Amino acid sequence: MRNALTNCRRVVVKIGTSSLIHESGRVNLQAIDRLAYALAAMSNAGSEVVLVTSGAIGVGLAAQHLTSRPAAIAEQQALAAIGQSSLMRLYGERFTDYGASIAQLLLTHDVFDYPASRRHVLDTIDALLARRVIPIINENDSVATDELDHKTTFGDNDQLSALVATSIEADLLIVLSDIEGLFDRNPKQHPNAALIPTVAAPAELAQARATGAGSRFGTGGMVTKLKAASAMMAAGKQMVLCSGADPRIVLKVVAGADVGTWFGKEEAQ
């Protein structure tokens, strides 16, 4: 058991599509409910909480009764617009059930590239947190695209969550994923793979990245999570990577429980 994070004033929680959408393609309503419960409990206990969520396209697919993601960018962006609306409706219902207020922010990389817009969005987040409102942030997938001449995309929401966390000087970033943490080898291929409980120093993180420990496939894989951890550690902050199968795990994290992989945290003596 690690020490409880008594000085953890601001927390950013990132949840991936795999935690919000069943393998069948249907929305995981239980996960959304448990996430709302946990974040509302954290907010009620005095923490300032920000949620970075994926899932807009996944929810859009479910809403349109589609089983595969279309190849055309315009079709994907249309699904993102449909899904984002439905996702926020679900969040609104569940957070309201637990007495928490939420607000939506849809961002592109340009917002952080330009000092004026960056300052405005950070001021908005500060104002929301001062009112005990939980900002729910996602990339504006209906606008952002790699095909534009200027940089609009973050690449993935792991990078977005780390950028938000470091920009608002959050004490902790919790990344909820479809994997329990960082392993010494790919657990999908090696049943005896061992979980790495703590990566305390940048040198240890560099070694993990060099050996490809726990490497994953697809967007939002282990590579992007290690990049997020690197950004947090460089800012002198902490990140926890853990399973999002039951989002209530975030309550264990802030209590200092031995779950997932902790980046940038020394073990208690």
d(CA 103, CA 264): 30
Q: How many C-beta atoms lie closer than 10 Å to residue 52's C-beta?
A: 27
CB burial of 27-50 (b: ≥16 within 10 Å; e: otherwise) equals: bbeebbbbbbbbbbbbbeeebbbb
Q: Is 151 marked within a binding site?
A: no
Q: Is 143 marked within a binding site?
A: no
Q: How many C-beta atoms lie closer than 10 Å to residue 63's C-beta?
A: 15
Q: Which residues contact 142 (CB under 8 A, 6 or more apart)?
A: 77, 78, 80, 81, 84
Q: Which residues contact 76 (CB under 8 A, 6 or more apart)?
A: 57, 69, 70, 141
Tokens linked to 74? 């315009």
Q: Is 221 marked within a binding site?
A: yes
Q: Is 243 marked within a binding site?
A: no
Q: Is 224 marked within a binding site?
A: yes
d(CA 141, CA 20): 17
Q: Is 244 marked within a binding site?
A: no
Q: Is 88 marked within a binding site?
A: no
d(CA 170, CA 197): 22
Q: Is 111 marked within a binding site?
A: no
Q: Which residues contact 123 (CB under 8 A, 6 or more apart)?
A: none
Strand intervals (E) in 17-159: 48-53, 101-107, 133-139
d(CA 188, CA 92): 35
Q: Is 3 marked within a binding site?
A: no
Q: Is 219 marked within a binding site?
A: yes
Q: Is 161 marked within a binding site?
A: no
Annotated binding site for substrate: which residue ranges?
A: 54, 141, 157
Annotated binding site: which residue ranges?
A: 14, 54, 141, 157, 177-178, 219-225
Annotated binding site for ATP: which residue ranges?
A: 14, 177-178, 219-225
